[in-house]
Amino acid sequence: MKTEAATRSWLALCAASLFVMLPARAHHSTAAEFDASKPVTFTGTVQKVMWMNPHIYTHIEVKQAGAPSMVYHVEGGAPNALFRQGWRKDSLKVGDVVTVSGRRAKNPDSPNVGQATITAPDGHKIFSGDGPAKVSGD
């Protein structure tokens, strides 16, 4: 539908803008890995957080009816930048339930999801903006 398509385009624009604003994204070409035409949204359970350079990955398990679980690897920002924003590896804990919106990889066999936002059940974003350990002042 036209409205839905417009909304999708707007979301794509927002995601692209967010992508441009995130300095940590500069290290390799996300455009090369992820497919802008493959948006994905899912709710699952955190398995682990890989706190690694240049991008962190959060592994999130999604139960599927009548099929084995799918474990997505959700790419995030650079760990040093996230640390400075007040995020820590344990900002998400094993077993936490979150909702992810992002884009699937071009490779259909890849579990990676990029340009993603992770949202907690109470609506706040994880690994985005200022985190709980943010220190201000100088």
**How far apart are the C-alpha atoms of 46 and 130, rounded to whole Å?**
21
Judge whether 85 and 131 are in contact, CB under 8 Å. yes
Task: Calculate the CA 58 to chain-centre distance.
Answer: 8
Per-residue tokens: 86:
């007040």
**How far apart are the C-alpha atoms of 34 and 12, rounded to whole Å?**
13
Asked if 126 interacts with another protein (CB under 8 A), we say no
Asked if 45 interacts with another protein (CB under 8 A), we say no
Asked if 85 interacts with another protein (CB under 8 A), we say no
Q: Quick one: which of 33, 35, 61, 96 contacts another protein (CB under 8 A)?
A: 33
Asked if 53 interacts with another protein (CB under 8 A), we say yes
* Residues in touch with another protein (CB under 8 A): 19-20, 23-33, 50, 52-55, 57, 78, 80-81, 83-84, 105, 107, 110, 112, 135, 137-138
